[in-house]
A and B are shown apart, each in its own frame.
Chain A
Amino acid sequence: MSKSLQAQDHDLANHATQLKILSNGIFVDGKLPTFKKKLEPLSEFPLKPTSIEIFQVNVGYMCNQVCKHCHVAAGPDRKEIMTRETMEQCLEVLRNTKIHTLDLTGGAPEMNPDFRWFVEEANKAGVEEIIVRSNLTIILANPKYHDLPDFFKKNKVRVVSSLPFYQADKTDRQRGEGVFDKSIEALQMLNAVGYGKEGSGLSLDLVYNPSGAFLPGDQTSLERDFKKELKEHFDIEFNSLFTITNIPISRFLEFLIRTENYEDYMESLVNAFNPAAVKGVMCRNTISIDYVGLLYDLDFNQMLVL
């Protein structure tokens, strides 16, 4: 298993270095317009928040995987973890506001020793929806995690999991050797307790992100392909597939630069700018909390310490 950028002492482990790269070069020599320039004609600059609906908590950067695109640069060698005291503060906020969704992420959030306590307390606090961003393989990583599907079910957690492809090759190249087979087994375990099954009320959504320097295709078409292939070959069912775009920060930025894809990728991103999406961007209704309790308007900004 490869090391995180931090463990490699890589230049790009530093958020200031990343910001310097992202705000210079093609964005100052006039090759590409900045985000601000794109927003101004729409009278959307500065982009302002609406209200806080989603409370996203990063409970730590520790993970059992080292995915090549990870914007958190998570991995087994990352020791940053949220304490129960910080979780208590989060719960206090949830009890005293009208925020309806708690979105738990990491790393592998399940690896935080207080993860289960946090989920149970959030339920008691009356949060309408609790989302866990599970990488799936964690369920099989250790016997102590085997009962996670039952725990999720008991706590009515909505499970959202990454699966970059419905075949092993592309998945393993991005997420590590053997990840696909374990993900399939974990999905079958989730299905077995009712997740993704019609009428169960237990939501299992998959997240597709491209396994390379290209943008995601049409969500509806990919969802149809995923549903057909996963059902046919593995008898797996799930609710929705969300296609997301890889963000050019951290490990994915390192990949883009190393493979000389950076400029072309940034150009594809800028060309794909969709004015209609401006009103619905995540940072307008989300607040992102890092493992020490600092607030950001988005987890990507959390990683860049913006």
Chain B
Amino acid sequence: MSNTYYDPADLKKFGDIADFEPELAKKFFDYYGDVFAEGALTVREKSLIALAVSHAIQCPYCIDAYTSDSLQKGSTEKQMMEAVHVSAAIRGGASLVHGVQMMNKAKKLSM
């Protein structure tokens, strides 16, 4: 066992999840492949969305993977940072919008 929860080398072993449950893994990876194929959104746009989501869920594997992938697909560093800000804005906004709930409760409780 490694001494840390996250080991960069584990990213390359992602496919090994099939060792314990091959059928569901196959379905997942097939689906994953289809999701990231060119569609109404370009592969470059999908990669930027994945990069933003990676930051929202704070997955270090995903951040490494989609930083490389976004560069590979031709995104600029500026576009990538804007995607991270979108993630931050949604996360920050998600906290702040609950402020309305706090206000509602506070108003109800207060004289």
Which residues does A use to contact B, with CB under 8 Å? 165, 167, 169-170, 210, 212, 214-218, 221-222, 225, 267
Contact = CB atoms under 8 A, between A and B. Distances in A.
A267 B71 CA distance: 17
Interface stretch (B36-44, B52-60, B82-90): B36-44
A214 B74 contact: no
A136 B73 CA distance: 24
A167 B68 CA distance: 19
Interface string B25-47: 00000000000001000111000
Contacts of A210: 71-72
A107 B100 CA distance: 65
Interface string B58-70: 0000000000100
Given A210-B71, A212-B71, A218 B76 contact: no
Interface of B: 12, 38, 42-44, 68, 71-74, 76-77
A213 to B, nearest CB: 9
Task: From B71, B76, B77, name the one whose CB has the most chain A CB atoms within 10 angstroms.
Answer: B71
A124 B14 CA distance: 59
27 contacts: A165-B74, A165-B76, A167-B76, A169-B76, A169-B77, A170-B76, A210-B71, A210-B72, A212-B71, A214-B68, A214-B71, A214-B72, A215-B72, A216-B72, A217-B43, A217-B44, A217-B72, A217-B74, A218-B73, A221-B38, A221-B42, A221-B43, A221-B74, A222-B74, A225-B44, A225-B74, A267-B12
A221 B44 contact: yes
B73 A221 contact: yes
Contacts of B43: 217-218, 221
Nearest to B44: A221
A231 B103 CA distance: 52
A285 to B, nearest CB: 28
A167 B43 CA distance: 20
Task: From B38, B43, B74, B77, name the one whose CB has the most chain A CB atoms within 10 angstroms.
Answer: B74
Q: What are the 6 tightest A-B residue pairs by CB atom distance, in nearest-first order?
A: A217-B73, A217-B72, A214-B72, A214-B71, A222-B74, A214-B68
Contacts of A165: 74, 76
Given A221-B42, A222-B74, A225-B74, 15 more contacts: A167-B76, A169-B76, A170-B76, A210-B71, A212-B71, A214-B72, A215-B72, A216-B72, A217-B74, A218-B38, A218-B43, A221-B38, A221-B44, A221-B74, A225-B44
B45 to A, nearest CB: 10
Nearest to B8: A264
